[in-house]
Every structure is written in C-alpha cells, then in structure tokens.
Amino acid sequence: MAISLDTSIQFIKGVGPKLAELFSRKGLKTVQDFLEFYPRSYEDQRQARNISSLKPGETVSLKAQIVKVASVPLGKSSKRIYDVALKDSSGIIHCKFFRVPYKGYFERFTPLKEVRVVGEVKDYRGRIEFHHPDIRDIEPDEELQDQLIPLYIELEGTSSNKIMKLIRGALDQVDLWPEEKFPSFVLKKYGLMSRKKAFYDVHNPAMEQGSEFLNFQAPAQKRIIFEEFFWLELFLAAKKTGLQQERGPVIQNAGIWVQEVLKNLPFKLTNAQMKAYKEVEKDLQGPSPMNRLVQGDVGSGKTLVCLLACAQAAESGLQSCLMVPTEILAEQHFKSTQKFLKSDIRVALLTGKTKTSERRELLKKLEEGKIDLLIGTHALLEDDVQFKNLGLVIIDEQHRFGVEQRGTLKVKGKNPHFLIMTATPIPRTLAMTVYGDLEVSIIDELPPGRSPIQTRVAYQSKRNQAFDFMRDQILKGRQAYVIYPLVEESEKIDLKNAVEEFEKLKTQYPDLRFGLLHGRMKPFEKDEVMEKFRNQEFQVLISTTVIEVGVDVPNATVMIVEHSERFGLSQLHQLRGRVGRGEHKSFCILMLGYAVSDEARERVEFMEKTTDGFKIAEFDLKMRGPGEFLGTRQSGLAGFKMAHLVRDFSILLEAREAAFEIFKKDPKLKFPDHQALKTELFKAHGPAALASIS
C-alpha cells in the first residue's frame, strides 16, 4: 500500500502491533505524528569531552562510566532527588534528576556500565553537575566513527537509538508527500526549504551543521519552527481581519460625562493613562468593534481607564459590563464607581453571592436597560444574564480567565466593544501569540509619588527579624500582609499552615490585631475580613493567595510571602503590588522554605533586582514556560512540537509578518496561491475561522 503522512504508524516497517500500541498511547498514531517526534537534542560525537574540562553553561556530550546511582529525600517532602555519578579518566560528575523520567529509568544504570551523556553543565555551589541530562547506553552495534546523532525522548524502554532507526525507516517509506502549502513568496522571502527536506534533515542531520542543530538554528529546524508559528499567526490574522470587517455599536458623543469624571478626580491622570484612554476612545468611535488589551503594571491605574470607557458608553445610552476574577475585586470596583462615576450612571453588582430575589430583580432591570454598568464575577457568564443593549465588555485581570469567556460575553450584545485588562505584564512573545488578534495599549508609568518597593529574600533563620520589622511598621501606623501559598494537591496542609501561623503570630505579638482570609471562607466572611482590614480594625492580614489580584489598600506597606519559592515570579510581582500603593515607603520580604534548590532561590532573588513587571515576566517565561501566564489551557500554544517562544522569538516575528502580509494583500483569501491556506484554516479551526473573512 502507498504510505502517506496520514497512514497509521503500524504500517511502518519494524513497528509491530505492540510498539504501535505503545506509541499510540504516547500520542503517536500516524506517520506524521512519528515524523514530528523531533529529536530533543543532538550529540556531536566529534566534540566528546573530558569531564575535567567542562565549564558551567556549555552544552556538551561525553562518554563515561556509571559509578553509582543514589536517591536522596528532598527536605521534609516526600519528593526525592536521584543522583547518577559518572566518571571518566579525568574526573567525576554528578547527574541530578528532580523527577523520574519514566518508571524503571534508573534500574538499567548499573555500576561500571558505559554510557553517553548530553546535557548542559550547571554550577552547583562551585561544583559542576548535570540536571536531567540525556543518558543512554552504548549499544553493542554502535558505529565507531564519529557522528551527529539525534537524541529522542525514550518511550518506556524503546531506546533513542531504536526510535531513530524507525523514524529514518518511515522517512524512506513515505511515497505520497503532501504538496507545499506555503505561497511561494513566503518560501522565498524567509528562505524556507520544503517540509519534506526539513523532516529528512532533522532526523538525519549533516555532520557539518552540528552546532547549528544543537542551537536550533539549522535551516531544517527553521522551516519547522516557522511553520508551527505560522499556522497560529495565520489564524490570528484571520480573526483580526474578520473583526475589522464587523460593525460595532457606534459611540459618538461629546464625552461630557468623561470630562466630568476627570474634573472630579482627586488627582490628575498620568500621561500613560491618558494616552491609553485616548486609544480606547478612538476605537470606541470607530466603525468596527474595539478589541484592545490594556497592559499596565500593578498599581498603574487601569481601573480609571476602564471607568472612563464606561462613562463614554453610558453617555451614548449603551450598557457595559465589567468582569473580574474574584468577589473581593468586584466589590472594590463597585466602590470605585461610587467614588469616581457620577451618580446618574446606574451601576449594579452581580456575584455568586447575590441573593436569588435580588438577582431576579437585577436581571429584570438589566433587560429593561435600567442598569448602565454591571460589575461581577463569573456570575456574568450565566445564560440568563441578558442585556438590553450591551455595547462594551471589559474583562479585568484577563490572565485569570481563559480565552473562551470572551466568546460567551460577546454573544450577549451585538458585536460589543472589548476592553481587556491585565496587570501581569505579558512578554512580547505571548502578546503576539495568545493575544495576537488584539490591539495593545501599555500603561508604562505609575502615578507620581510612589517610591519603589524595597524587596529582600530571607531564609527561615531571619524569620523573627522579618516579623519584628513588620511590627515596627505597624506601630508607625501602617498595615501588613502575610501570604501563604495554596497549591491544590495539598490544600489542607497549606490551609493548616495559614491557620496555625495565625494562632502562633497572635500569641507572639499580642499587641497586634490579626485577620485571617482564605479561599474556604464564605463570601460574606471574606468581605467582612477585607472590610475590617480596609478600615484598620485589622493591622495584619494573614491570607492565602485569594488577595493576589487587584486588592487596593494604600495604607498597607509590608508584604511578607512565606514559601515564596512556590510561586511564579509574576504571581510574586502581583502580590508585591498589593503594597507601595500609597505615599509611604513599602517593603516586601520573600521568605524561603527550608529545603530550597539553588535554582529556586536564584529565581526568587530576581525579585530583588527589579520592580519592572515586564522584565520579571520575560525572566519567568524563560524559567518556567508559558503555563504561568496562561493558567488555563489556551488554544494555540499547546500544539508546538519544536518551536519555543523565547528561543525562537525572531522566527515568530517573521511568521507573524508573513501571515499578516497575506491578509493585507488578500483579505478574503481569494488568490489561487492562498487556497491551501484556506483549507488548512478550515481543517484546524472549523467554519468559524473562515466565516468572518468570506
């Protein structure tokens, strides 16, 4: 039979039913899946090194002998570190594994066995070591001359070498290659080889391209990475082009209500706030609906920008809604509207705790158009929340939501305007992928008079000092937060931590007034605690991360985070943003747990170096990958098999440019050269992807 990329993997020579079953469990079902099982790295055997010559930071390959495999418990937790010691004639190096690659992985490493290793040399307290290197057995039939060998992730006992042979076999067997889908100008402009050749080359790398392959800069890798980014960007370009052709509610008025809000403010908008608002205003008055993301660091004053937009919509007789991730934040925004908006803008609050009778009445008013701005949590998404003429949708702290919610709110109006706000500064890479169909405004300035928050990382031995410092500040009239992590799998333990510490601190500092806040409390209990903290009945708020986003109590100047190593940096940045919101100098103390790896400590220490949320976000993306920013699974990014958002940024830019250029020349994809693109969009995203552009 003729073999194409869609053929089942079991028809590849050497893949019997048993292997096919195992591969299919790993998601490799078709020949294409198999060809896209790209090498994780390459071993350049010409460059094999002696252990004694290794320097931190290099990625190297070497041949060595197993000395010993040990496993040591990690701190008090149930986790273990595996340590494989290797030696050659020049010295010894340890390979550390913080998780087991697969069951039985370490069993085959018996002392004296010869292995080949590829990995990045790390510096651990002045000693070199590997973390999660590729270690593989030297096979008896291995060729003696030096080669550039692709290394694959081993699949439960199927060695990298065997996988390499099977994939090379598959490449030879395919006789029906699909036609080129890229328009010829794209191939030419970006110097891309054919996909077929790219597949062939990544699995059969040429010796002389050794260092290029190792650094993901070989032409074959570029074609594959470009292609992965390109399909995502093409979809975003289609979406954006479609949106530009929609007609939204037109907001044309003199902006008198906006002027009134501005006149009554106790302060002046910063230039950055004003600039962002001007961009929003222009969108609102344009013919197509606004789709704008406002990024601004914590405390930059995003709320006002969105309230101005609401005032503008209300003046034109359109309704707005503002969705936020937590009840605390919904309450707080509601209070802001009372402070800043004129009283004839009718504002209502809808959360999970709104009473049934109250809710019924509220929904009725909403349908009759007697509410101008509805503020709420996820409760806004419910089916029976219906507007008379929803013209503006605002989502605050967007990173806490998935992308789907935008769709749910969109159908509650007729092509309403969208304003999306996030305080987690998003690295440019993510702004171009996940949010690639949006216009972006950046508020890159804080209101005047804020002095930078002083940040210190502290070990447990300095704990009392940290809390004494907090007490000093409180005696000066300030307030403080103490935060405990809450991770799902051990929610109970963590909860106990916060509650226990609360009791302990109360006895240790009987002169201070402590409040406790955690996710298991009922909404009204949370509100009560927050209210008491706001009016200074409580001086210290002990809390799990429920306060992470948005909370604004300007008198609080000390933030202590326990087990800070368990947080993502962007989350720490958010937490730190709870202080430094008023005129007083603020402090953030990041406590480390007892058993903390050097890597984790270094990561947290980055917080001492900068308060620039964008720098922190970039660093975090590099260290922990995009999951941190996206929280829930977000469409598009999960599909990358080779592309890497940080490493391949320049290719991302090219792919984005190509995709948008295509739509600029041919907004409805009518050119013959673009038909394959249309088919692909349809295959990947269904009729919706094309509906808007046809």
Applying CB under 6 A, which residues contact ligand ADP?
267-270, 273, 296, 298-304, 423, 447, 550, 552, 554, 581
Per CB under 5 A, which of residues 328..387 are in contact with Mg ion? none
Give the C-alpha separation, 659 to 498, whole Å.
Answer: 50
| Cα dihedral 56, 60, 62, 66 in deg (nearest 10) | 50
Shortest Å, Cβ 258 to ligand ADP: 15
**Closest residue by Cα to residue 207 from 145, 135, 165:** 145
Give the C-alpha separation, 138 to 115, whole Å.
Answer: 5
Give the C-alpha separation, 535 to 127, whole Å.
Answer: 53
Shortest Å, Cβ 669 to ligand ADP: 39
Shortest Å, Cβ 303 to Mg ion: 5
Shortest Å, Cβ 349 to Mg ion: 16
Report what 570 binds from Mg ion, ligand ADP, none; CB cut-off 5-8 Å by kind: none
Biggest CA–CA distance in the chain, Å, is 84
Report what 317 binds from Mg ion, ligand ADP, none; CB cut-off 5-8 Å by kind: none
Q: Give the pair of three-digit tokens for residue 679.
A: 């088919």
Shortest Å, Cβ 393 to ligand ADP: 17
Q: Count of alpha carbons within 13 Å of 532, Cβ hemisphere only?
A: 16
Residue 317 or 554 with smaller CB distance to ligand ADP: 554
Shortest Å, Cβ 302 to Mg ion: 5
Residue 161 or 295 with smaller CB distance to ligand ADP: 295
Give the C-alpha separation, 319 to 310, whole Å.
Answer: 8
Find all residues with CB under 8 Å of 161, minimum gap 6, and list them. 136, 139, 142
Give the C-alpha separation, 545 to 518, whole Å.
Answer: 8
Shortest Å, Cβ 206 to Mg ion: 53
Amino acid in position 362: L
- Pick the piece of the chain touching Mg ion (CB under 5 A) from 157-165, 372-380, 544-552, 586-594: 544-552
Residue 237 or 298 with smaller CB distance to ligand ADP: 298
Give the C-alpha separation, 127 to 598, whole Å.
Answer: 12
515 binds Mg ion (CB under 5 A): no
Residue 296 or 427 with smaller CB distance to ligand ADP: 296
Closest residue to bound ligand ADP by CB: 301
Residue 425 or 550 with smaller CB distance to ligand ADP: 550
422 burial type by CB count under 10 A (0-12 exposed, 13-18 middle, 19+ buried): buried
550 binds Mg ion (CB under 5 A): yes
DSSP string, 445-489: -PPTTPPPPEEEEE-GGGHHHHHHHHHHHHHTT-EEEEE----GG
- Pick the piece of the chain touching Mg ion (CB under 5 A) from 49-57, 135-143, 424-432, 546-554: 546-554
Report what 447 binds from ligand ADP, Mg ion, none; CB cut-off 5-8 Å by kind: ligand ADP
Shortest Å, Cβ 397 to Mg ion: 7
Residue 575 or 659 with smaller CB distance to ligand ADP: 575
Kind of pairing, strands 514-517 and 540-543? parallel
Residue 318 or 423 with smaller CB distance to Mg ion: 423
Shortest Å, Cβ 494 to ligand ADP: 26
Residue 584 or 656 with smaller CB distance to ligand ADP: 584
Q: Could you say which DSSP state residue 8 is in? A: B
Report what 301 binds from ligand ADP, Mg ion, none; CB cut-off 5-8 Å by kind: ligand ADP
Give the C-alpha separation, 575 to 348, whole Å.
Answer: 28
Shortest Å, Cβ 555 to ligand ADP: 11
Closest residue to bound Mg ion by CB: 550
Residue 405 or 539 with smaller CB distance to Mg ion: 405
Helix-helix angle 569-576:613-624, to 10 degrees: 150
Residue 183 or 550 with smaller CB distance to Mg ion: 550
Q: Dump strand ranges (E) for 110-195.
A: 114-124, 127-131, 134-137, 148-151
Residue 595 · residue 75 · CB < 8 Å:
yes
Report what 299 binds from ligand ADP, Mg ion, none; CB cut-off 5-8 Å by kind: ligand ADP
Report what 269 binds from ligand ADP, Mg ion, none; CB cut-off 5-8 Å by kind: ligand ADP
- Residues of the shown chain interacting with Mg ion in the complex, contacts defined by CB under 5 A: 550
